[in-house]
Structure 1
Amino acid sequence: MILDRPEQLLAALLVEAALGYPEWLLRRVGHPVTWAGRLIAAMDRRWNREGYQSGGGIAAMLVLLLVGAGFGLAIECLTPGWAGTPVVILIATTGLAQRSLWNHVAAVADPLDRGQLDAGRTALSRTVGRDTAALDENGVAAAAIETLAESFCDGIAAPAVWFLALGLPGLFAFKCISTADSMIGHRDACYELFGKASAMMDDVLNWVPARIAAVLICLAGGGGWRILRRDGRNHLSPNAGWPESAMAGTLGVTLGGGAFYDGEWNARQTLGEGPRPGPADLRRALRVFLRAVLLLWLSVGVLAWLR
């Protein structure tokens, strides 16, 4: 009997957590996300022109959906049966980011624990889009916790949901749109129109996963439900506020608030209540993240057993 999708997903989650994406492979051939990034950059250069930005953005979004789904479908068609199952599992790991997310956030926590604020800012700048040069210790810790919570959704929970729903086509279609949202889904003069379609599609695709991620974070942290209900919608994104407010409530800290992006002030509402987080809270957030990942594995395992 060929492994069903829950079993394949569980295997992919375990393999990715153990191995991640090998550095030597990244250096030699890149990563599916970087491939999508090059396609997005090419469409940006060609189609993001005055008078055609909205139409070009819609076309780019449709191309990304077709390319992502087509790539995943081609792999599944070329790898049928038992012999192809390990290939599908290994390729599915490229759409998950458990190990890389842990590594990136731990790289911020380590210098903060040693009182090395500048090193913490530098590590954070590799992970977030906001300006980090002027952040104090609490600002660095808050930004790292926010990206940990949000990325638990769009880097882990959402790819898992779309793999369960549609297999590799669903996973890679989602990753293409998610990459586009991070590259061109900005509300500025350059991308307000061109990136709008991809940003809206990303909101649609993350709607259910964001709420699943929030529930897993609250379960993993043993609380946070009141803050989740109160503040889940207090975010510029219809989805990011859910896992972030769940993490804020679980930790008993205040996240969110205004921040600079490319030198421009972005007014954001606060999430949670209590003090701004410090290095110790960032460590606590990493432990909550680990437990949330384990709960995701358990949930997928239960699905596999029920099937």
Structure 2
Amino acid sequence: MVDMSNLDVRPPVAACGGRADVTAEPVREVLQARHMPLGESTVVRRLLPNLGRRMVGAWCFVDHYGPDDIADQPGMQVPPHPHTGLQTVSWLHDGEVLHRDSLGCLQTVRPRELALMTAGRAVAHSEESPRDHARLLHGAQLWVALPDAHRDTAPAFEHHAELPRVAGGGGLSATVVLGELAGAASPGTTYTPIVGADVTLAAGTDTRLPVQPDFEYAALTMSGEAEVDGLRLAPESMVYLGCGRTELPLRADVDSSLMLLGGEPFAERIVMWWNFVGRHHDEIDRARRDWADGTRFGEVRGYAGPRLEAPPLPPAPLKPR
């Protein structure tokens, strides 16, 4: 996965969180993607926030991109931009991404490695394909909302090249990207009960994956066309699965992979606008002004180009709903 950024020049307000919209029983609710430009040459499929579903646990933003042939293109090029109140999770299946941030971190992220940035009170970063890069670029980019007690924490960046794996019956294997799954725990720092896992299903797999009944879940197709709880999940789609499950039936006729996202339903109401997660209008407005003034977020050094400017706020006050 590449940049954790919303480059929409007219970003909508997303009022998310709270448990009123959480489905307390198992469901199969298909979420269709919206196609959005990201940077100079990448188009992503945005699955959260979605018209029908704003969050899954603390997961509040999900983009899927590729596989894109970038052999003769610059690939991912996203200028320095700010974040507050969230964590970014970068996950690649193909390609490499060079991460720079205002903490001074410089890291090349490769397939099946976790790049986890905790924005906390304020951080800025850029994401780009290296000058000499692989032919294909394919991954997902995700945000995790920070709970109120931790959203002003100091910013930090983690890179984990080795992650725990879960082996299931009948051709299932899973890499635990964040949180815990089937007794395996990612080394990535978390602030709410959560799980993110990359699940691979060999052709002919027919199995069941143990899950937590008090978590809500969603599954995103990365490749192939797996069946999730009997629903054939076409490429470029996500299914929301609700709560109340102890196991999740999975099968595949062809080699397939999906991302399983879940967590305890997020109790707090949040406002998400551009690259900020907050609780009310004044907080978002202050973050925008601090970025425009060049204060608070620091400087990303080494990116060959200007930073990203914040779009104007909408005329009406931002309110969680």
For normalisation by structure 2, the TM-score amounts to 0.29
Question: Which structure dedicates a bigger proportion of its chain to strand?
Answer: 2
Question: Which structure dedicates a bigger proportion of its chain to helix?
Answer: 1
For normalisation by structure 1, the TM-score amounts to 0.30
